[in-house]
Amino acid sequence: MKPVKVGLLGFGTVGTGVVRIVEGHQEDLQSQVGSPIVIEKVLVQNKAKARVLPVDADKLTEDPWDIIRNPDIDVIVEVMGGIEHTKGYILEALASGKHVVTANKDLMALHGPEILAKAQEQQCDVLYEASVAGGIPIIRTLIEGFSSDRITKIMGIVNGTTNYILTKMSQEGAAYEEVLKEAQQLGYAESDPTSDVEGFDAARKMTILASLGFRANVALEDVDVKGISKVTRDDIAYAKRLGYEVKLLGIAERQDDFISVGVQPTMVKTSHPIAAVGGVFNAVYVYGEAVGETMFYGAGAGELPTATSVVADLVAVVKNMRLGVNGKQAILSYKEKKLKTAEQIASKYFMLLQVDDRAGVLARITQTFADFEVSLESVLQQPNASHREAEIIIISHDASKAAMEKVLKAFEGLDAVKRVKSVYRVEG
């Protein structure tokens, strides 16, 4: 059979991995799809640049339209990143009947519904497994593996940079700033790490996962986001003392068709499997009404793990071409989006308070919780020998976000509470 021709937009780390796999695994790929898969054209910024993986110069182009408007190319693989201009390329490719595989989480989080609707209109495939959690096949799992179940919760470590930082802080007792600097030197963190450490990267990924898991058009602005830049080694030390690890978790929950999605540093019980996920690895926990709890673990980034997901999508597209079913398997959101209010979002909380060390203070604090119907699981007071102050560590039972906000507001009016040092959600 005639070869399937692929246009590759981007030849950085992931693009290089895609070429390695397609060219190195050709026999395996042909056995699955029944024809050769050929990288026909590759978009680069500079054709003259030296490359770790040599490619025929005739295949390189600096003009994206050489690929988008090439009638011989069947599938566009987009690994260049960017949002608005990349969206234009993909919509143009779909309009001309080309199928699309992308690793672009930013694009799919912001414009996924529009792109998927266009793909269905043109009877084309748009697959984007590599946009979340690198080599972990979590998107395919949500679409296919849970097709007969009803997902109630998705919880995961979906950003390797922040997990590396928190792991090092936990293992070595190091400060955030010094571990961040080390992560930058190792290439795990960008020179401007804002997207990772402030939770924005994880929020985009959770937007995609929540939309797929709950079949509703969750938007990026629906995600409540808090990063790790304020996490201190004292927070982590107290967490370990109480039997917890601090992780940046994305958490999407559904109850009675009302959903909430958030990204925040979270204290996870050490007995929970996700607490043991260290370094740059990712893990996603999925709760289904029928199947119960499942966990998916693996490399969340990197040349070959991410490229493996891209090529798996490419294989799926070619199989659909052979069967004549392209564009018929798109998962478009069909449920009305109903977001939980602050009264409906509930969890356990950890709180670290700096207070006056004198009689009656603890009673006033516990009464404040009682005033807003927040019950407490444990209270620990840590005196400070050099000051007339103490630290109080509190873990609540399940409480609504609204109630906790009222408690924190009330503490602002208590002279005895000098400072609310930390507040974290508790899981596991």
The domain that holds 412 is classified in CATH as 3.30.70.260
What is the average per-residue pLDDT within 280-298? 96
pLDDT exceeds cutoff 90 at 334: no
Domain co-membership, 123 together with 257: no
Q: 379: which strand partners?
A: 394
Q: Where are the alpha helices (DSSP H) in 265-334?
A: 303-323
SS3 call for 120? helix
Look at strands 389-396 and 376-383 and give their pairing: antiparallel
Q: Which of 176-190, 296-310, 315-329, 385-399 has the lowest average pLDDT? A: 385-399
Which residues are designated catalytic? 205
Domain co-membership, 27 together with 127: yes
What's phi and psi for 192, nearest 5 deg? -105, 100
Task: Please check whether residue 308 is in contact with residue 189, taking contact to mean a CB–CB distance below 8 angstroms.
Answer: no
Predicted pLDDT at 386? 62
Please state, in angstroms and rounded to a whole number, the distance separating the CA atoms of residues 177 and 65: 44
Please state, in angstroms and rounded to a whole number, the distance separating the CA atoms of residues 158 and 265: 12
What is the average per-residue pLDDT within 320-334? 85
pLDDT exceeds cutoff 70 at 401: yes
Domain co-membership, 104 together with 238: no
As a whole number, the mean pLDDT across the chain is: 95
Domain co-membership, 291 together with 143: yes
* CA-based R_g, the chain, Å: 24
pLDDT exceeds cutoff 90 at 301: no
Residue 360 inside a domain? The answer is yes
Among 409, 286, 421, 414, smallest CA distance to 354 is for: 421
pLDDT exceeds cutoff 90 at 332: no
Domain co-membership, 97 together with 150: no
Look at strands 99-102 and 223-225 and give their pairing: unpaired
What's phi and psi for 78, nearest 5 deg? -105, 115
324 token code pair:
């004549």
Domain co-membership, 62 together with 119: yes
Look at strands 346-356 and 389-396 and give their pairing: antiparallel
Instruction: Kindly report, residue by residue over 241-250, the tens digit of the pLDDT.
Output: 999 999 999 9
Instruction: Kindly report, residue by residue over 113-145, the tens digit of the pLDDT.
Output: 999 999 999 999 999 999 999 999 999 999 999
Task: Please check whether residue 61 is in contact with residue 348, taking contact to mean a CB–CB distance below 8 angstroms.
Answer: no
Q: 74: which strand partners?
A: none
Print the domain residue range for 420.
346-427
How much of the chain, in percent, has pLDDT values that exceed 70?
99
Residue 336 inside a domain? The answer is no
How many angstroms separate the Cα of 90 from the Cα of each of 12, 37, 129, 132, 149? 19, 20, 16, 19, 32
Predicted pLDDT at 385? 64
Residue 339 inside a domain? The answer is no
Task: Please check whether residue 309 is in contact with residue 129, taking contact to mean a CB–CB distance below 8 angstroms.
Answer: yes
Instruction: Kindly report, residue by residue over 343-379, the tens digit of the pLDDT.
Output: 999 999 999 999 998 889 999 999 999 999 999 999 9
How many domains does the chain fold into? 3
Look at strands 346-356 and 399-400 and give their pairing: antiparallel
Domain co-membership, 280 together with 178: yes
37 token code pair:
């898969």
pLDDT band of 382, cuts 50, 70, 90: confident
Residue 414 inside a domain? The answer is yes
Predicted pLDDT at 424? 97
Where do we find the tokens 């052979």? 322
What is the average per-residue pLDDT within 312-335? 89
Predicted pLDDT at 234? 92
Domain co-membership, 285 together with 146: yes
Please state, in angstroms and rounded to a whole number, the distance separating the CA atoms of residues 68 and 16: 20
State the pTM of this model.
0.94
